[in-house]
């Protein structure tokens, strides 16, 4: 279930709530009791990083979908 951020426009109290997408947003502020609660827009809590996208994050053998260039052969000199 996603976590949503809410704030009261009257008293400024901010709080988070774990709820289903289909659940109704809270209307009453838990601090002042007024019906002035609005959902806030927040940044996601994950970051994409690394050398490419993976086919799956849950398998033992992660296959990188971005092809890495083949290593150049090394010359042994003269």
**Structure-model confidence comparison of residues 38 and 61, the more confident one:** 38
Distance CA 7, CA 11 (A): 9
Distance CA 55, CA 62 (A): 7
Domain ranges of the chain: 3-39
What is the pLDDT of the chain when averaged over all its residues? 77
Residue 77 has pLDDT above 60, yes or no: no
Digit-coded pLDDT (tens) for 7-41 = 999 999 999 999 998 999 999 999 999 999 999 99
Name the architecture of domain 3-39. Answer: Single Sheet (2.20)
Residue 52, both tokens: 């490419």
């Amino acid at each position: 279930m996603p976590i949503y951020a809410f704030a009261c426009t009257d008293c400024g109290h901010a709080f988070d709530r774990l709820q289903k997408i289909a659940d109704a947003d809270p209307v009453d502020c838990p601090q002042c009791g007024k019906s002035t609660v609005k959902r806030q827009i927040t940044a996601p809590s994950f970051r994409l990083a690394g050398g490419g996208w993976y086919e799956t994050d849950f398998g033992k053998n992660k296959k990188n979908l971005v092809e890495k260039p083949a290593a150049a052969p090394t010359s042994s000199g003269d």
